[in-house]
Structure 1
Amino acid sequence: MKKESLWTKDFLGISFISFFLFVVFYILLTTLPIYVLEDLNSSESAVGLVTGIFLISAVLCRPFTGKWIDSIGRKKILLFSVFIFFFSSLFYQWADSIPFLIALRFFHGIGFGMATTATGAIVADLIPEKRKGEGLGYYALFMNLAMVIGPFTGLTIVQYANFSWVFTLCLIMTVIALLLSFIVRFPEAAVSSEPHALKKKDFSLSSFFETKAIPIAIVGGILALAYSGVLSFISIYANELGLMEAASFFFVVYAAFTIASRPFTGRWFDIYGENRIVYPAIILFAVGMLLLSQATNTFFFLLAGGLIGLGYGNLSPALQTIAIQNADPAKRGLATSTFFTFFDTGIGLGSYALGVIAVYTGFSSLYFILGGVVLLALIAYYFLHGRKVSWNGNVIQPSKNIT
């Protein structure tokens, strides 16, 4: 049978919207600390607040966004959220004080949280059912590319120009994302198998979280907490090891390994089922973290980045696919927001808590501990999801006693 088309203009459109949003996110994530310290002459604590407030607002708005996506409509929420993102990007040129910048970051985080939740729900509807793993894998690849291109671009501009150029570039990319939001077409809503389920106006847990997605979202949150140690402290750790030159290539190697494996892992997910992807990926992630904790030279430092890319780089889209597949079709927006709420919470908690732990343990011991946390996620995955599906991806039905 002929495969249903994946690479449609609408799939590419929504993927590029996500790409530009994440490029802006990573540019500002890596350059604003320099802006706060040098241009605004503020402290390290202000850097943490400016960084953290963005993620806090994104987490707070995700559950509401998932509910609104499935009730108000995907197109309206997408346009509204990208407009918020656009107006936030517009005002960075005048962010000349910490209070103003913190308020702007909070507002910007709302736009980011809503927009990325919307794009995740929309792309799930655009991908053919039998190519969900492959499609979401390629969609996540655009985010992986943004993770490399964003920091590299931002830090390069800072070296040769002032921050006005950084903020102008972010605004241009946001305008492109906004224009694409008007062009992309997609199915507005799916048919629910639970009649009137979305018409409830109560404030129960199920109103803001897709309960069927919570188990796998918990696994994603644990893994995100472990990954936050890499995202937040890899440059500091590299400096301790005397490998600062290698640090700039860490995420390049990470992305290269992820990109090289993505055409295979997404397709294998659809053919062989989630367990044959998730179990090996978690093990590779754990091995990468343990190797990172023992790295003393450039080769092992970058090899650890490659293994983490093979592991964690493939886990995020795989777990998101599981969350969406477990949900009712009409609740894909809610499932997407549920997954990313746990994911962002793991990143946010990890960025703060692991920094405190590292003061007492050192970064080498911290990464060794995080290798154990990843293995803990392996156990959590087994009990929360893995044991419920066979190795070919089929759901295991409970045995019945024959009398």
Structure 2
Amino acid sequence: MSQTDCPTQRPTAPAERLWTRDLVLIILVNLCVFTNHIMSLSTFPYYIQSLGGTEAVAGICAAFFALVAVVVRPFVGWWLDNGARRVVLILGLLLLGLAPLGYVAVPALSISIGLRMVHGAGLSLSNSTTATVASDVINKRRFAEGMGYFGMATALASAIAPALGLTLMEGLGFTALYGAAAGIAALALVLFAFVRAPRPRVERKRLSLKGLVNKDSLPASCTMLVFMLTFGALENFVAIYATNEGLPSGSLYFVIMAVMLLLVRVFLGKLVDEKGEAVFVYTGNAAMIAALLLLALVPNTVTFCVSAALAGYAFGGLEPALQSMAVHTSTDETRGSANSTFLCGYDIGYGLGGGIAGVLITAVGYSAMWAAVSLACVASVALYVAWARHSDTSFSKLLAERRP
């Protein structure tokens, strides 16, 4: 029997190839984007304090940062759905470079809040596009696995950036810190010059409010939004909390968290393709509850490290699982809006988490804040069970329907 006569023959190895030159390059660009973002994020509360601000002001900055990203993202999605890739990312990387330079050029509290919003717009343009380019080039038979590897850039940045940012801040000051952040954005521009960014041939869409949000990605996006309330609190305030409590450096927390995140994505990256996203939704939220309660109730060196590992598992599994769920059924015409809708949920949750945490710290202290934000994990699971697991984009539902 010839190969063409055999309908059940498995695709050849090249058809299932995952790693390509463009995927590696866009992962490196994404690594630069998140290193720029996170090294600024983990040090920005200290920068606000140096200008005379409080934790509440730092939380407001986080909320404004996310607000701008949320407002911009739907329009970025529309732009990407019209086939744009290169110009969107170049503009985003330029803003990621200019905003940190502005922090040190004009060190004033009100100006810094405005520049933080510019930084948020740059992140929105940049990571919406890198995620869309990755979605374009990843083999569709190994999509969730590929998105997990793409998300490893976040893990590596989470390990490198806080330690790098805090070291530069403590050793050389804010000028060196934010100068380095701008240089990393410039490096991303150089790397992206070698990416063969796809130019999908799509019918141009008119800008309309109805088309800015991808309805198919809403279940995963809303589940992620609620979970991110916890992560926004952690990333903005765990370093200052560690300093106040005499715990190991916040850099250690981020490194442990990132190592666990990386391990999850390397060794469990195929699990969503095989079992569905539910396994990470349930176990990830449970791990994050435990991580936050350890910080709230028994803060010591051992529980600090265990908390970091649990948080790394939670984010490392949940984020790529839900992003894959949000995007895997999209087409060239909808991939940009699917990614932007998901990342809007990410940003809203992150921004609200940082803002709420800052207000709670000022009102009731750190321990009560950690305990309070852990309730978001309960809400995330409830939302998934009630809505997201029944949606047509759910891997878990699709796999259940295929079982005999």
Query: TM bucket by the smaller chain?
Result: 0.7 to 0.9
> Structure 1 pair 48/202, CA: closer, same or farther in 2 (3 Å)?
closer
1:163 to partner: Cα distance: 2.7
Aligned partner of 1:363 among 362, 366, 369 = 366
Which amino acid in the other structure matches residue 161 of structure 1?
A: L
> Structure 1 pair 80/238, CA: closer, same or farther in 2 (3 Å)?
closer
Q: Could you report, residue by residue, the CA deviation over 1:141-164 in whole angstroms, capped at 9, with x for unpaired residues?
A: 111221221121121122222333
Provide TM-score, normalisation by structure 2. Answer: 0.87
Q: Which residue of 2 aligns with 1:400?
A: none
In the alignment, structure 1 residue 313 sits paired with structure 2 residue 316: yes
In structure 2, distance between residues paired with 1:245 and 1:294: 17
In the alignment, structure 1 residue 8 sits paired with structure 2 residue 20: yes
Q: Which residue of 2 aligns with 1:43?
A: 53
1:283 to partner: Cα distance: 2.5
Unaligned 5+ runs, structure 2:
1-11
Conservation of the 8 A alpha-carbon contact between 2:57 and 2:358: no
Provide TM-score, normalisation by structure 1. Answer: 0.87
In structure 1, distance between residues paired with 2:383 and 2:265: 24
Alignment of 1:172-321 (within 5 A): 172-189=183-200, 199-204=205-210, 207-239=211-243, 242-245=245-248, 247-321=250-324
> Structure 1 pair 369/5, CA: closer, same or farther in 2 (3 Å)?
same
Conservation of the 8 A alpha-carbon contact between 1:20 and 1:177: yes
Q: Which residue of 2 aligns with 1:20?
A: 32
Conservation of the 8 A alpha-carbon contact between 2:41 and 2:235: no
Unaligned 5+ runs, structure 1:
398-403
Conservation of the 8 A alpha-carbon contact between 2:223 and 2:388: no
1:212 to partner: Cα distance: 0.7
> Secondary structure of the residue that 1:145 maps to in structure 2?
helix
> Structure 1 pair 295/233, CA: closer, same or farther in 2 (3 Å)?
same
Which amino acid in the other structure matches residue 41 of structure 2?
A: L
1:130 to partner: Cα distance: 1.5
In structure 2, distance between residues paired with 1:362 and 1:244: 16
1:51 to partner: Cα distance: 4.4
> Structure 1 pair 348/390, CA: closer, same or farther in 2 (3 Å)?
closer
In structure 2, distance between residues paired with 1:385 and 1:152: 36
Conservation of the 8 A alpha-carbon contact between 2:390 and 2:397: no
Q: What is the percentage of aligned positions where both structures have the same residue?
A: 27
1:100 to partner: Cα distance: 3.5
Structure with greater contact order relative to length (CA < 8 Å, sep ≥ 6) = 2
In the alignment, structure 1 residue 127 sits paired with structure 2 residue 138: yes
Conservation of the 8 A alpha-carbon contact between 1:243 and 1:298: no
In structure 2, distance between residues paired with 1:304 and 1:393: 33
Q: Which residue of 2 aligns with 1:81?
A: 92
In structure 1, distance between residues paired with 2:223 and 2:34: 23
In structure 2, distance between residues paired with 1:236 and 1:31: 9
Q: Could you report, residue by residue, the CA deviation over 1:161-204 in whole angstroms, capped at 9, with x for unpaired residues?
A: 2333223212221111111222101332276xxxx6x6244332
Conservation of the 8 A alpha-carbon contact between 1:274 and 1:393: no
In the alignment, structure 1 residue 147 sits paired with structure 2 residue 153: no
Alignment of 1:320-335 (within 5 A): 320-335=323-338
Q: Which residue of 1 aligns with 2:43?
A: 31
Q: Which residue of 2 aligns with 1:161?
A: 172
Conservation of the 8 A alpha-carbon contact between 1:213 and 1:326: no
Relative to structure 2, which stretch is displaced further, 231-240 or 213-222?
Answer: 231-240
Relative to structure 2, which stretch is displaced further, 347-356 or 1-10?
Answer: 1-10
Q: Which residue of 2 aligns with 1:347?
A: 350
> Structure 1 pair 310/60, CA: closer, same or farther in 2 (3 Å)?
same
> Structure 1 pair 133/362, CA: closer, same or farther in 2 (3 Å)?
same
